Structure 1
Amino acid sequence: MSPQEIDRITRHPDFIQLVRRKQRLYWSLTLVMLLAYYGFVLLVAFNPALLGRSLSGGATSVGMPVGVAMIVLAFALTGLYVYRSNRLLDPLNDRLKRECRS
């Protein structure tokens, strides 16, 4: 690609909107995950009862209910990202590709 083509694409309104939507989606999901992760770390740090609970006298869990919730949250955020990406970002990206080819 020539520099003129790249410049034309980066100035295209659909490209600008696509980049903004992607950044907004990335940062909001990252913020949610970081808040949940650090909330989990603080919960474990300030609640010693979560640190070494024995399950049926054998294995030891570290915050079993909270840990499972973190895993479920990670899957839910991934699902939300895929849903939003497929519904909002992919059509915009396809339209941008069609317009820039011509």
Structure 2
Amino acid sequence: MSVIIASKIQSNPKYHELVKRRNTIGWSLSAVVCVMYFGFTLMIAYTPDILTAPIAADSVIPVGMIMGFGIIVASCLLTGVYVYMANKTFDPIIADIVQEASK
């Protein structure tokens, strides 16, 4: 990519809006994941009795194991949300920006 095209892209208002939206979504999803992981870690430290309780009276599976599995699944789903948004929302905007800069 030439310097001229790069400067056209950086001066495009759509580019600045794209960067702002992408950063907002990325940081928001990262914050959700951090809250889940740190919340789980704090539960391990301060309420281990809740995490070690069985999910049912006759079960050997603790609540903490289900929560840990849920956190992993939620993290994968949030990654999928970001990828979906990137493909459906951000990529068309990027294509428009590059096309405008190439003129």
Residue type at the aligned position of 2:28: S
Highest relative contact order (Cα 8 Å, sep 6+), 1 or 2? Answer: 2
Structure 1 position 62, deviation (Å) = 9.2
Residue type at the aligned position of 1:15: Y
Unaligned runs of 5+ in 1: none
Match of 1:73 in 2: 74
Unaligned runs of 5+ in 2: none
Contact 2:18 2:93 in 1 (8 A): yes
User: Equivalent pairs: percent with the same residue?
Assistant: 34
Kindly provide the CA deviation profile for residues 9-33 of structure 1, in whole angstroms up to 9, marking residues without a partner as x: 2110111111111101111011101
Q: How many residues align?
A: 97
Match of 2:83 in 1: 82
**TM superposition score normalised by structure 1:** 0.81
Match of 2:21 in 1: 21
- Higher strand fraction (1 or 2): 1
Residue type at the aligned position of 1:101: S
Measure the CA separation in 2 of the matches of 1:83 and 1:5.
27
Q: Does 1:31 align with 2:31?
A: yes
- Higher helix fraction (1 or 2): 2
Match of 1:6 in 2: 6
